[in-house]
Amino acid sequence: MDDIEKFDKFLSFYDKYYQTVSEISMPCPIHDKDCPSIKHKECVSKSKEPLVSSDFMMYSFDDICRDTEIIDICNLPSTCDGLYLDKKRKVLYFIEYKGVKIDRNSKRSELHDILYNMNKDSECYDKYYERLQWVYNSYGDELAFKLRLKPFETLDLALPNVYKDYCNKNSISDEDKLDLNEFLSSIKKVYIVVAVCDKRNPTADRVGSYRFILRKPFERLRDLGLFDMVEIMDHN
């Protein structure tokens, strides 16, 4: 059994989480297992439809992590939503679904605009400007941060622990185990963020948009060899 077959067998162990893209890309998907403190948390998404309507199948990696005993269900790593192995082409896909407009201004950029346009003669300016400026300088944008964090925690934290748990549950001997680091170094890896893109917007790459903020971090993922391809794709 070669490494591709070993990895495919590993994924097949979680066949109950082999789901359609429509299921995986639903806003606030329902998980069989979740932390009690957030299990009944209300979904704030306005959309009630999947980001992508498709019967194409892949593994729900979020659910796989929730079914891993050595990962704390209340302290889950930040991981990609979907995992798909193309055995024929030897490509491993990591897919993240975000039902947001990737070309819009980030929240941090919006705060910058508010600060810039505040009326300096107003009482509001005298009372709050310096405090807001301090907040602005101290924090980044949560969405942009998570999209940068997910590929690292998926590859370096979640996937190794999921595989370790799989080996423990199936009593796989050391000689039969897959050298996961070697395998991931040898196979082509693709990280794709699927979001809502405004391709007709002439200012889509403007400074402050999520696409602009993520451009250089995503380029580093390729330059440093962590992924062979990193793309932001429209949900259509």
- Confidence at residue 204, expressed as pLDDT on a 0 to 100 scale: 52
- Cα–Cα distance between 25 and 214 in angstroms, integer? 21
Give residue-wise pLDDT tens across range 164-182: 999 999 999 999 999 999 9
- Phi and psi at 130, nearest 5°, equal -65, -35
pTM: 0.84
DSSP helix/strand/coil, 127: helix
pLDDT < 50: residue spans in the chain: none
Which pLDDT score is estimated for 84? 98
* Burial class of residue 70, CB neighbours in 10 A (0-12, 13-18, 19+): exposed
Provide the 3-class DSSP secondary structure of residue 225: coil
What is the per-residue pLDDT for 121?
62
Instruction: Return d(Cα 92, Cα 210) in angstroms, integer.
Output: 25
Q: What pLDDT is stored for residue 205 in this prediction?
A: 59
